[in-house]
Structure 1
Amino acid sequence: MTPLTVLQLAANRWWTGSADPVLQLTRALERRGHRVLLGLIPGDRFELKAREAGIAPVAGLSLRARAAPGDLVRDVLRLRRLVRDEGVEVIHAHHSHDHWLALLARSARGRPRVPVVRTFHNLRSVRRGRLARGLYRRTAAAFAVSRQIEARCHDAGLDAERTFWIPGAADLSRFTREADPVPVREEFKLGGAPVVVSVSRLAANRGHELLLAGFRRLLERLPQARLLLVG
């Protein structure tokens, strides 16, 4: 496997649904020998979490979607310099704003165009307008974290050959550390019952209906089971 230099862009400042997967992907690629640069909105929770994970974000970027025109121009120029000076071979965008910036920045003087790929972390980020279709035509590949998002990508003009379903993942090793379950079991009066815990924002399209349907079936076999929804 040939190591690559990958530029990941996430126009995000908060510790939200896309932030943790971006950091997990960055570290996983580095473990496989790739060189990864990470651009994000500085000065907030996402940057703090990145630094805690040992990842130093690219300096000199704003990435704010509502930035002044001058800041947008500076971001494009900064990204072009990164592509040129760091030998970036792939730009991986995670939000619509940084997707557009990646498209504008992928051509550095004297170098071929760098392929841009995009991960869609939620359904509403897949747009169907004319501008979005133009953006997607210039995108080398798209990654959807659910089958529903994958189907919407196809509807938006991303053909099946360039769209890949990669379901969201969790690093299970982060949850295997020894912890005392007694306080939680006492607080919720769980006793020794088997417990299923779901941690997710309580909102539409989060799969809670499927979870509840599955849990009802589980109760037929384990009537003592309990379900905790954290959100």
Structure 2
Amino acid sequence: MRILHLLASPFYSGPAENVGLLALAQREAGHEVTVAVDRRRKDVPAEEPAVPRLRELGLLDEGGLELSVKSPPWGVLRDWSRLRARSVDVVHSHFSHDHFLARWGRPSGDTVVVRSLHAPRSLRSSLPAADGYTVPASSLLPRLLEQGKLAQVLPALVDPRFHPTEDREALRRELGLKGAPVVGMVSTFQPSRRHEVGVEAFALYRQQRPEARFVLVGDGQLLEPTRKLVASRGLSDAVVFAGYQQGEDFVRWLRALDEVWLLGLGNDWSARAAAQARACGVRVVAVEEGALPDLADVRVAEPTPSAVVHAAMSSQRAPVVHPTNASIAEDVLALYRKAAQARHDSRARG
């Protein structure tokens, strides 16, 4: 199959990493796969840019699509024309801009259009038509199935770099981490991630585990307010702000943890951080959002400090077996085939 993924983002973060790993797995299964991303926005100082990463992986599409929400109307029309002229079997779109472009710029012939919804806000009445859909969590699936749509869950894919460290204590020494247990949060500092709840929970947790350390990996708009909250609770000596980490550095920080607290999701409800943590042998304590319930060792019934501490103090471990990237890719390829068959049957009926 010739597969074109559309991802109107200049960042290799959020859903973009999942898209890249899916494209890689599809290519390894013998298909011709490229990923088109936002080529207009080039200044992305806060996050890893998508273009060099995808080029390094041999996945970057060079078909001339600008694919940007910042494009002027004539730029969108140019993308529409260029997409219409493409010769591909599947256009797999991922963000709202992509969805509308794919819907109206579908290449002629038997090209299948599949849409991935990465967060619940995309499930709305104005959802453009497609031949098939994916959602990041099973809780979102019924809304599409009830409408008679062909749909399935697209779980988080995990880079092979995520695996347990051979010597966690040595790694902690390298990172300057002292004390135990080491608990962490790995997410952007924004309201949906509930860092304030995490800090308040750690203050309670440390009353029972006085040698515990709290590692906060990431950056964002609420970073400085979180620093002030940590200081006001007298926790500065026990909390490490590791900053924004990516690539192998992020893997190292994650491997160093005993457990991770995932207290909210952003624009990717596949809960990739939970899958990555599990792959590293890190215990997952998580709220019941998106795909987190399927990946958590222990669930937090409600996002309050006391509920987080209650969950963290338990010894519960869930025997979750996460699907491999190859099996996830095969399931998505099967969705493409079903969509193509349904489209063919519909056209045959006339």
TM-score range for the pair, normalised by the shorter chain length: 0.7 to 0.9
1:72-111 alignment to 2 at 5 Å?
72-82=76-86, 84=87, 88-108=88-108, 111=109
Aligned counterpart for 1:65 among listed residues 58, 65, 69 = 69
Which letter maps to 2:101? L
Which letter maps to 1:145? P
> Is 2:131 aligned against 1:140?
yes
Q: Which residue in 1 is equivalent to 2:24? A: 27
Aligned counterpart for 2:151 among listed residues 138, 144, 163 = 163
Q: Which runs of 5+ in 1 are unaligned?
A: none
SS in 2 for 1:75: helix
Contact between 2:36 and 2:61, CA under 8 Å: does it hold in 1? Answer: yes
1:39-58 alignment to 2 at 5 Å?
39-42=36-39, 44=42, 45-58=49-62
Q: Which moved more, 1:165-174 or 1:96-105?
A: 165-174
SS in 1 for 2:3: strand
SS in 1 for 2:63: coil
Displacement of 1:198 after TM fit? 3.1
Q: Which moved more, 1:23-32 or 1:58-67?
A: 58-67
Cα displacement string for residues 99-128 of structure 1 (whole angstroms, at most 9, x for unaligned residues)? 1111122242xx23x22111122233x152
State the distance in 1 between where 2:18 and 2:90 align.
18
State the distance in 2 between where 1:209 and 1:90 align.
43
**Distance verdict in 2 for CA 1:96–1:5, change over 3 Å:** same
**Distance verdict in 2 for CA 1:172–1:211, change over 3 Å:** farther
**Distance verdict in 2 for CA 1:33–1:224, change over 3 Å:** farther
Aligned counterpart for 1:36 among listed residues 33, 37, 41 = 33
Contact between 1:17 and 1:121, CA under 8 Å: does it hold in 2? Answer: no
Displacement of 1:8 after TM fit? 0.4
State the distance in 2 between where 1:107 and 1:47 align.
24
Contact between 1:47 and 1:57, CA under 8 Å: does it hold in 2? Answer: no
Displacement of 1:184 after TM fit? 2.2
Across the aligned residues of Structure 1 and Structure 2, the Cα RMSD in angstroms comes to: 3.6
Q: Which residue in 1 is equivalent to 2:2? A: 5
Identity %: 30
Count of equivalent residues: 208
Q: Which residue in 1 is equivalent to 2:175? A: 184
Which letter maps to 1:146? A
Cα displacement string for residues 83-113 of structure 1 (whole angstroms, at most 9, x for unaligned residues)? x3xxx111110101111111122242xx23x
> Is 2:187 aligned against 1:200?
yes
Which letter maps to 2:100? W
SS in 2 for 1:22: helix
Q: Which residue in 2 is equivalent to 1:116? A: 113
Displacement of 1:160 after TM fit? 6.5
State the distance in 2 between where 1:208 and 1:169 align.
25
**Bigger RCO of structures 1 and 2 (CA < 8 A, at least 6 apart):** 2
SS in 2 for 1:39: strand
Structure 1 stretches of 4+ moved >6 Å: 207-212
Displacement of 1:143 after TM fit? 1.4
